[in-house]
Structures are given as structure tokens and as C-alpha cells.
Amino acid sequence: MSNFLKQMPISLIERKEGMMTTNFNSQMNEVYLKGLKLVQQHEDAIKSEWEELLHHLQKVRKKSHKSVENTIHFLSNYFFQDCDPQKLAKLSSYPTDGLESINTNQYILTLLENGIHKAIQSKQEYSYQDHQAVKYLFSKISEHIRTRPYQQHFTVEHFLQEMVSSQQIPIKWAAIITKKENRYQVDKWFSLTTDVVNQKPNLEADSLFQLSDILLHRSEKDEEKQIVLPIPYNDRSVLICISEHEAAQVIPLITYSLQVIKKGQDTFENAQEKDQWKDSVILFNEAIMRSQTFNDAVERITAGFVEYLPFERCALFSYSYNEQMGFGLYGHHLDNNAIQNINEDVENLPIIQDNLKFLQIFGKNMNYLQPVYVKDASIGFPQKYVNQFHLKSVVVVPIYTSTASKLLGAAILDQGPNETFKITEETFSALIKFGQSAGEILSKFYHYQLEQQVEKINFSPRELEVLKLMAEGASTSEAASQLNLSEYTVRDYVSAIMQKMNARNRTEAVARALREGMIS
């Protein structure tokens, strides 16, 4: 047990070393961008679907048609006009332009999302992963719109508007400048008097100095000499126009205030990013809940560990408590036949055996089992598997059902052949939830799978009893004693079972029975 308890801090210690980290944010960014690209690829069909919806609302004189129209305009600008790859490369780069002016709600967003699903489905084969990516895209935009009223007070735009409007600080005007194609442009303008931007839209220059000079000459003249000071802010610049003699007192205050705002924004974004693992759990649960059979569940689980987590390969194993054996079920991005040929005694896997000892002591009171991170697989796994699958760093995730306090198996994950990596707390938290969800869904199918397989192979009730005793490790004489049969009769049953299952020996018969859910 002490060895098992030492496993958790390993991931925290290894983080200091120069290894690749499991990047949760990039994984969820991929899902978000997949949805965004799907939408952009079907621009014409989506716009046509939205126009049809809007026409219908206008025809029946729905009061919401104006809000729908504004929301369509807002989303169209984000999806189809602002296609800067760098801006859209981060999940946190949500649309902001025009957000203050729209009056939308979840009902309107759902209507428009359904229109997108319908449009894409009419043009191509629309997989569940495609549907889920678009759904995730809309869920994040919707979340951003709902929280926008609480965030806007902590933006640089709000700060500059307040500074200019309050007149507590003698700022003549302020502007936010962006750089596009080596040209500096006025993005936002703040002034109580002259609206320079509306007088001449798309105001731009080759340098910040030139643009500052243009703005200074276009603004209202003052008796006092005015200067324009540039302040860098993220990937933009802030221009502040102020009287020359007050600049020394005012600029440090503004610079400090912008730093505070930046820290607040970073804190908010970091909090959002740290919660992204919860999104992956939701997507994983949605995917595996669609399972129709035991084998379907096994495939969806192994694919889901890779699809929604920052891993490249996954092998799923079942576990027999009585046999103390692990049996390969399925491999994702691995040789599936090689995985299914694995029947391994748990004694040869010391790290997993430590987990089992912990379960034996505390099992009835456990809601979950912790994943185990192994920096070097050669320390905890048989060398033949390390060589065969080119293992380096791996994570072992228990597949555990808390409702029955039972370990059903484990998922073994890595980031590809010979890859060394480390995991974050967020990934660790997600792995626990993935293991729980996988355990519950597999547990649901075990009984049904047993009935199906028994019917398929046509076991007799007595043969099934013998098979279960074989799985428990009972000898021929022990099985005969428990069933009140002669040893010769039990041997006949064992032979019949092996023949029906095309098994070469008892171990192979038990392995297949456990792998296919005939017994548990």
C-alpha cells in the first residue's frame, strides 16, 4: 500500500523536468477548432438555413425575429469574416465585436445551432464526433455570452471608457491600436468630444508615431500642449492623449491600472482553462452512453480516452479477481490482435498489484481508484511488452465501478512509441472520472453480454457453473466437490467447454470468457 500511495506525488515531482506535458487545453482547442472549421466549410448552406429560419419568424410575426437577426449577424462575423488563424487558434479567442449590442438567449442560440447541424448533415456524412464538435463550439460561445456582463467591467475597453468619461483624470482621449499587415489601425476610440474614427473610418499609418501624430492633429485643439503616449498591452497598444505637464503623474497610474486589469483577465482565463477537463468528461460520457453492446462500449471507451484526453494510444484490459489475471480487450492506435493476445498474471505487474492491495483493504469505502503515472514503463512492466509496444511513460487508469465496489479492468495510456511525458492535475482529475464512467457503462453490459454469449455458444447451466469455477481457479477435484459431481464428470464438462470455445487449454477458455463478458 505504501508504494501505491507514493505514486500520486510522482506526477507533481516530474513536472519540474524537461519532458512533454499532457496538454489539456490544446486537446479541447482541437475539438473547438474542429467544430469551427466544419461551420466555415459549409458557409453557404448554413446562411441559407438561417435565412429560411429568419424568414419564417418574420412571416409568423414572432417578436424574437429581431434578436435572431442580430445574433445571426454577430455569429456570421465570427464564423465567416474574421478568419485570422492566429486569432481563432485558441479556444479562449471568443467573438467580442458586437456582443454588447445583441439581445440573445439560449433558445435563440439553440435554434441557430440546430440549423447548422441540419445544413452540414445535408452536405456530407456527419459523424457523431462532427456533431459533438459543433455542439461544443456553441456551448463555449453560449457560455461566453452568458458571462460577458460580468466580465466586461474588467476589460481594457471598459477601463478606458470610464477614465475618459469620469473626468477625474485629465485624459483628452484614448485609443486602442491593432497591427494588421504591418499597418497600425485604430480599433477603438474613447473621447467625450471628437469622434475621430467616425469622421474617417479605417484610420491607419505605417507606425505608431505617425498614427499618434494624425490623431493629435485631428482632435480638438487645446490651450495646453497635448502629447500622445503609447502603452503596450497584450498584442495591442493603448494611446493616451494628455496635457504635457500632467503626463508624469498620470501615466504611472494608468500603466499600473492596466497591469492590474491584465492580471485579472489572466486569472479568469486560467480558471476557465483549469475547468476544461470537466468539458472533456462531459463529451466522453455522452460518447460512451451511446453504446449498444459490450463490444461497442469497449471500442467507444478506448477511442474516448484518446479523443478527449491528451494521449495517443490506449489499451483496455479486463481483470479477473479470482484468477489474478489481466486480459487484453481492445487497443486504439495499437495492434488490436496483439492486445487481445495478452493474458498476464498481475504478479508480473507490481504497480498494478499495489493498487489491488489498496483496494482489498479499503474497497468497500472507495468511490474511485487513483490513476498511476509511470515515468519509465521498464520499471513496472514486463520487458517483453516494453519492447513489443515501445513503451516509455504510461498512465494506468483503473476501470472501477463504485456502485459494486468492483475493479473491472484498466486502461493503459501513453503519448506514442518511446514518448516520455508528464501529466497535470487537470488530466489526473479527468482520468479519475473517465475510469469511473467507463466502469459504470461496462458493468451495465456485463449481465446482458453474459446472456448473449451463453445463448450464442449454447452452454448448459452446468457447463456455465464449471466455467465460473475455472475462472475462480478451482481445481478439478475442488469443482467436483462443490458441484457434488465426480472428477471424471467435471473433466468432461471442461473438455466440452474448451471444445465449444475452440480453446487450447483452461487458461485460454477462461481468458475468452472474461474478455467477452461470459463471466465476471
CA 484 to chain centre: 55
**Does residue 170 have a pLDDT over 90?**
no
Question: 487 and 363: one domain?
Answer: no
Contact between 424 and 406 (Cβ < 8 Å):
no
Whether 2 maps to a domain, the answer reads no
What average pLDDT score do residues 130-158 get? Answer: 82
Report the chain's mean pLDDT, rounded to a whole number. Answer: 81
pTM over 0.85: no
Residue type at position 144: H
Question: 417 and 293: one domain?
Answer: yes
Question: 423 and 488: one domain?
Answer: no
**Does residue 404 have a pLDDT over 80?**
no
Check residue 377 and give its pLDDT.
Answer: 92
Contacts of 434 (CB under 8 A, 6+ apart): 281, 284, 304, 305, 308, 309, 397, 411
Element spanning 417, H or E = none
What average pLDDT score do residues 155-170 get? Answer: 83
**Does residue 427 have a pLDDT over 70?**
yes
pLDDT band at 453 (very low <50, low <70, confident <90, very high): low
Class of residue 368 by CB neighbours under 10 A (exposed 0-12, middle 13-18, buried 19+): middle
Residue ending a domain, among 212, 242, 274, is: 274
Whether 400 maps to a domain, the answer reads yes
Question: 165 and 120: one domain?
Answer: no
Check residue 24 and give its pLDDT.
Answer: 67
Residue type at position 352: I
Whether 169 maps to a domain, the answer reads yes
pLDDT digits (tens, 9 = 90+) for 176-193: 999 888 899 988 888 887
Check residue 177 and give its pLDDT.
Answer: 92
Check residue 244 and give its pLDDT.
Answer: 84
**Does residue 83 have a pLDDT over 60?**
no
pLDDT top residue among 274 and 256: 256
Distances (CA, A) of 46 to 39, 72, 98, 117, 407: 8, 10, 20, 9, 47
Nearest-angstrom CA–CA distance, 70 and 49: 16
Whether 416 maps to a domain, the answer reads yes
Question: 47 and 114: one domain?
Answer: yes
pLDDT band at 14 (very low <50, low <70, confident <90, very high): very low
Whether 93 maps to a domain, the answer reads yes
Nearest-angstrom CA–CA distance, 349 and 372: 12
User: What CATH number should be reported for the domain holding residue 496?
Assistant: 1.10.10.10
Whether 151 maps to a domain, the answer reads no
What average pLDDT score do residues 326-342 get? Answer: 91
pLDDT band at 102 (very low <50, low <70, confident <90, very high): low
**Does residue 431 have a pLDDT over 90?**
yes
Question: 245 and 181: one domain?
Answer: yes
In this structure, the strands spanning 421-422 and 20-21 are parallel
What average pLDDT score do residues 456-476 get? Answer: 83
Other beta carbons within 10 Å of 440: 19
Question: 298 and 387: one domain?
Answer: yes
Contact between 94 and 137 (Cβ < 8 Å):
no
Question: 425 and 324: one domain?
Answer: yes
Check residue 425 and give its pLDDT.
Answer: 86
Whether 10 maps to a domain, the answer reads no
User: What CATH number should be reported for the domain holding residue 432?
Assistant: 3.30.450.40
Percent of the chain whose predicted confidence (pLDDT) is above 90: 27
Per the structure, the count of domains in the chain is: 4
Task: Provide φ and ψ at 110, rounded to 5°.
Answer: -65, -40
Distances (CA, A) of 369 to 39, 281, 433: 40, 16, 10
What average pLDDT score do residues 148-159 get? Answer: 76
Residue ending a domain, among 274, 292, 308, is: 274
What would you measure as the largest C-alpha separation in the chain, in angstroms? Answer: 114
Residue/partner pairs of 241-248 with CB below 8 Å, 24 or more apart: 241/171, 241/172, 241/173, 241/174, 241/215, 241/216, 242/170, 242/171, 242/172, 243/170, 243/172, 246/170
Question: 229 and 358: one domain?
Answer: no
Whether 5 maps to a domain, the answer reads no
Contact between 172 and 226 (Cβ < 8 Å):
yes
Question: 373 and 482: one domain?
Answer: no
Residue ending a domain, among 451, 468, 499, is: 451
Question: 298 and 372: one domain?
Answer: yes
Which segment of 171-175, 187-191, 341-345, 366-370 scores lowest on mean pLDDT?
366-370
Contact between 395 and 414 (Cβ < 8 Å):
yes
**Domain extent for 502:** 458-515
Percent of the chain whose predicted confidence (pLDDT) is above 70: 82
SS3 at position 237: strand
CA 227 to chain centre: 48
pLDDT top residue among 9 and 331: 331
Question: 296 and 260: one domain?
Answer: no
